[in-house]
Chain A
Amino acid sequence: MLLGLSIKLFIREIRSGYLTSMLVSLTLAITIVSGISLFTDRLEQALSTQTEEFLGGNLKFESNKNKLQPLLKDLDIKDSQFMEMALFASVIFSDKEMQLSSVKAVDNSYPLIGSLELENSEGVYLIKSSPKPGTVWMDERLQNLLKVNYGDEVYIGDTSFIFTDTINYEPDRASGNFSFAPKTIMNMSDLESTQIIQPGSRVEYNYLFTGPENEILYIRNFLKDIKESGDEIEMLDEDSSSLGRAVDRSENFFLLGGLIAVLLSACTISIASQRFTRRHISYVAILKTLGMKTLHIRALYFLIFFYTTILTLIFGLFFGWLLQNNFINIMSTYFPTELPSPGLYPLVVTCLTAFICQFGFIYPHILKLLSISPMRVLKDDIGLNQGSISVISAGLLAFFVLLYLYTNQITLSLIIFLGVIGFSFVGIGSIYLLLGSKSLGLGASSPFNLALSELRRRKLGNSFQIFAFTVAIGLSLITFSASKNLLGSWQNSIPEDSPNNFAINITKEDKGQMELFLKENNIKATTFFPVANASISKIEVDEEIQIDRNFNITWIYNLPEQNQVLEGEWFSDENENGISVSDEISERYNLSVGDLVYLKVEDRDIKTFVQSIRTINWDNFSPNFFVIGHPSLFKDIPSTFITSFYIPKEKQENAAELMREFRTISVFSIEELIKQVKEIIDQVTKALNSILLLTCLSAIFLALSALQDGFSVRRHQSAILRTLGASNSLIKNSALIEFALLGLISGILGALMSYSGVYFIETEVFQTTANFYPELFVLGPFIGLVVVSGLCFYLINGIVKKSPKELFT
């Protein structure tokens, strides 16, 4: 019986149109959540595959010694594979030219992950193997510098090789400190005959592993045990590339947009639930009078909302799938290949969102409804206290759980949660003060007096309406600002003339000449940073703790651009100076301001201390350093220099000329990387615009629901006033004035809210500098005025078009 009754009631509710705003809001929320989570899930999977390719495996062990090979037999691995490569810099000769190159000698398991894209006289092709012994592959830049064609001979050390293919793409681009120079790949079996590796030669041995997670962890632990100073272990989840950060940041934007849209929908659902409950008070009272048990009534309503959730889940997931397809189409240039199928996570998040909305924003109202006395049948004035502590607490708890679900950070969730609550209290308090106290009478003599009187008279209801409008306007403006200003500032962080070339291995002798060359060719370079390899040991009371990695350290007087001192002080002439370390290094190796350290640089030990901790903007495409020392500590220490500069496309021949003139300097281009990051920002902007559209839709639904809620009372009042002879224009104009004022106040508060939100996102979430966006303070009041008045005009027209008699029924 319950099942039949619940289905009948559910269909009747849908037909009556009273459930529309709840159904649409839930569907919107589910669409946005599923669309975003499906997309980000597939994006993460694709990124993980890309990162695997970038690393060359799941795990990488780097060492300056060829020591791992004999130890590998002790490793008990069944399903994992590994490969070995040696990386070194060497001058390569052709019959016409010679050039310093980064050489990668690979064994026959190469590549472990992905394929290489090669090109020869027959065209472009993909290959999953190493070069045959006696042959080499080179990148196009090296091919041009050496002026060689396919089949020509080149010389590495004592051996000659046949150049067979050009490397267009190689999967393990993250390998080696030498990878910046033009690249050559040769077979490992030829390495010995070249006689290049001699005792004392600078060679880096990389061992790459791929396999199941448990074996990779086992190998990692094994490697940790044998790891010595200078050795490094790298895992997949430690990707800090510019692309990785760009994708991470775009995911943050998507989740932010999603969270905002869901919160807006949650507010609408809450208002719709209140209306639903009010309409069902008599219905429940009658069912109780007829002897239906509360448990059965509860089950009846539970079923109705279960159908609501299922229906909205079906539609929401369908539209969500279309939405993520739209995102993929927008970002198709970034993902030329098909994205992996989504996992279960998006479905879990979507269902959780739907059920949190149901249990947090709908079910508490139903519980309240069930408490209505059957006496209501006899006494109409028995009502419900809808704003009870339990209903508000459930809503707030659901709000917090949603925040946590989307941010996965308890502190961030708490900050946003408390921020919104605090803002609401301040906002509602200010509205109370602003509206002042009511005067005698309704002020029905003129539209303005009537509007003002209504504002004052319904102070509490108006405060909640203003709150709903403020949330709608504020959150929409945050999404708008994210798609325009935040992305804009991200885009501006990569200006058109961002350095697109790095030059390393610049000797002291070449530095002056190179500066002259750049000046003559009107190329502006960043600072020439001295660089040396250093190891660091932390000095504790009675021991020295060696930090298990080496650093490329520099020494300069001035704080580099886009670096910010977090703790301690930057170098100054008045104090004793030490070193400055990045916040990541400080955190990872437990280094604090004032800690004593030994720096080992070129066989010299320097005893100094940590003077400051810095944040670094890694997206600035300039040389950045984890460790910077004061120049006084590094007197007479031999070093090379590193710099970066921008060469416009039309001056690309300057780069080749520079490399020809300075043979020992390695110049490498990051043009492609910058292009990729810029493309991602462009695509994120487009994708975020779709989210903005849906957020605005959610906001309009929230505003409409809040207005509709207030208009049911207004309908009755309007019927009485018109019976007493009030003109339509009095009712229409007073409502328009009233809601224009409400919209204006909400717009101003919404602008303040969005400004605070954007400030918080800029400083805390994206950790950039906060900007002032005056357009928010124009757009907020304007949108409030136009949208709220527009919606009011639509609703009040529906009232004044009806005769007073129709309004009474």
Chain B
Amino acid sequence: MILKVNNLRKEVTSGDSSLIILDDVSFSLEEGQSLAITGPSGSGKSTLLGLLAGLDSASSGTIFLDNILIHDQNEEERASIRKEKVGFVFQSFELLPSLTALENVMLPSELKSEADPKSNAEYFLERVGLKDRQHHYPNQLSGGEQQRVAIARAFACSSKILFADEPTGNLDSKNGKLISDLLFEVNSETDNALVVVTHDHDLAKKCDKTISLKLGKIVE
């Protein structure tokens, strides 16, 4: 099992008042499976994704990622898990503007001190169809192209699980379809697990499992 979540709760306090963002969330995901997290805005989807990926810590409950209890880990240990096991695709791409497409994709390999980050990055850029634009900076690429670079970067991590937060949210329907097809296509080649937060029903339908959130709770 790549992901197991039990009774997850996230609560934020502001002054005297507190707000429950996630409450009693439990589910699991096997290796190679895909999961769609859907729900209306403000239902806690992105917060849940952040907790699953170890970007943030929960108020209570447990998360096992590849059998590691990440809830007990400190930020440094969580960073190490992210480096080894997790890949990311964001709604707003989150590419480094001072790096070219190739350099952005090389980044995960560089962080792992891999021997030849360049050829690995070139392979994935070719895979997403951007080999000829590898020396372009993000501001020289369209939104769809930037998201393809982000997908290439996510797969270049050689991760066990890939988290995608609204990967088609900032794109038109044509580019959105292209990106969702690409995401599943490349994922099937790598046998990664995939967790996607989305509003897009077509994208959600492609996933093996779907959970729906409403006011921080899973609804059937």
Which positions in A face B, CB cutoff 8 Å?
A: 381, 440-446, 457-458, 717, 719-730, 803-806, 808
Given A441-B103, A445-B110, the answer on whether A725 and B55 have CB atoms closer than 8 Å is no
- Whether A803 lies near B110 (C-beta < 8 A) is no
Q: Please, how many angstroms separate the alpha-carbon atoms of A719 and B88 in the complex?
A: 12
Stretch at the interface among B1-9, B76-84, B195-203: B76-84
Do the beta carbons of A725 and B84 come within 8 Å of each other? yes
The reply to whether A717 and B96 contact each other, CB–CB distance below 8 Å, is yes
Residues of A within 8 A of B106 (CB): 440-442
CA distance A729 to B83 in the complex (A): 14
Provide the residues of chain B in CB contact with A808, threshold 8 Å.
94
Judge if B107 is at the interface, Cβ distance under 8 Å.
Answer: yes
B→A interface (CB under 8 Å)? 50, 53, 55-57, 75-76, 79-84, 86, 88, 94-96, 98-99, 102-103, 106-108, 110-113, 117-118, 139, 153, 157
Interchain CB contact under 8 A, A442 and B96 = yes
**Please, which residues of chain B bring their CB within 8 A of the CB of A440?**
102-103, 106, 118
B56-A725 in contact (CB<8A): no
8 nearest A-B residue pairs (beta carbon) = A725-B83, A725-B82, A444-B110, A805-B56, A445-B113, A805-B55, A805-B50, A804-B55
Q: How far is the CB of A652 from chain B (nearest CB, A)?
A: 76
Q: A442-B99, A444-B110 are in contact. Are A722 and B79 (CB under 8 A)?
A: yes
Please measure, in the bound complex, the distance between the C-alpha atom of A443 and the C-alpha atom of B99, giving whole angstroms: 11
Q: CA A442 – CA B95 in complex, angstroms?
A: 13
Chain B nearest CB, measured from A461 CB (Å)? 9
Contact call B111/A726, Cβ cutoff below 8 A: yes
Closest residue of B by beta carbon distance from A804:
B55
| Known pairs A441-B103, A725-B111; A720 contacts B94 (CB<8 A) | yes
Flag if A442 contacts B103 (CB, 8 Å): yes
Q: Say yes or no: B82 contacts A724, CB within 8 Å.
A: yes
Write out the residue numbers on chain A whose beta carbons fall within 8 Å of the beta carbon of B79.
722, 725-728
Which one of B57, B75, B83, B139 contacts A381 once the chains associate, using CB atoms below 8 Å? B139
Residues of A near B55 (CB, < 8 A) are: 723, 803-805
A441 B75 Cβ-Cβ under 8 A: no
User: In the complex, what residue of chain B is closest to A383 when comparing beta carbons?
Assistant: B139
Q: In the bound complex, how far is the Cα of B82 from the Cα of A803, in angstroms?
A: 13
Chain A: minimal CB distance from B103 (Å): 5
Q: In the complex, which residues of chain A have a beta carbon less than 8 angstroms from the beta carbon of B113?
A: 445-446
Contact B96 A444 (CB under 8 A): no
- Once the chains are docked, how many angstroms separate the CA of A455 from the CA of B204? 43
A-B contacts, 21 listed (Cβ < 8 Å): A440-B103, A440-B118, A441-B103, A442-B106, A442-B110, A444-B111, A445-B110, A446-B113, A720-B94, A721-B107, A723-B55, A723-B82, A723-B94, A724-B108, A724-B153, A724-B157, A725-B83, A725-B86, A727-B79, A803-B55, A805-B56
When chains A and B are docked, how far (Å) is the Cα of A719 from the Cα of B80? 15
Q: Which residue of A lies closest to B47 (CB)?
A: A805
What CA separation (Å) do A364 and B88 show in the bound complex? 42
Q: Nearest-CB distance from A722 to chain B (Å)?
A: 6
Interface core residue of B84, B103, B113, B139 (most chain A CB under 10 Å): B103
Extra contacts besides A725-B111, A725-B157 (6): CB < 8 Å: A441-B103, A444-B111, A723-B53, A726-B83, A727-B76, A804-B55
- Chain A residues with Cβ below 8 Å from B56 are 803-806
Q: For the complex, what is the distance from the CA of A551 to the CA of B123, rounded to whole Å? A: 94
Instruction: Select one of A443, A445, A457 contacting B98, CB under 8 A.
Output: A457
The answer to whether A803 and B57 touch across the interface, beta carbons within 8 angstroms, is: yes
Residues of B within 8 A of A458 (CB): 98
Of A444, A729, A730, most buried by chain B (CB within 10 Å of CB) is A444
Which one of A729, A803, A804 has the greatest number of beta carbons of chain B within 10 Å?
A804
Query: What B residues does A726 contact at CB under 8 A?
Result: 79, 83, 111
Chain A residue at minimal CB-CB distance from B113: A445
Across the interface, name the chain A residue whose C-beta is closest to B138: A381
Least Cβ–Cβ distance between A382 and chain B, in angstroms = 11
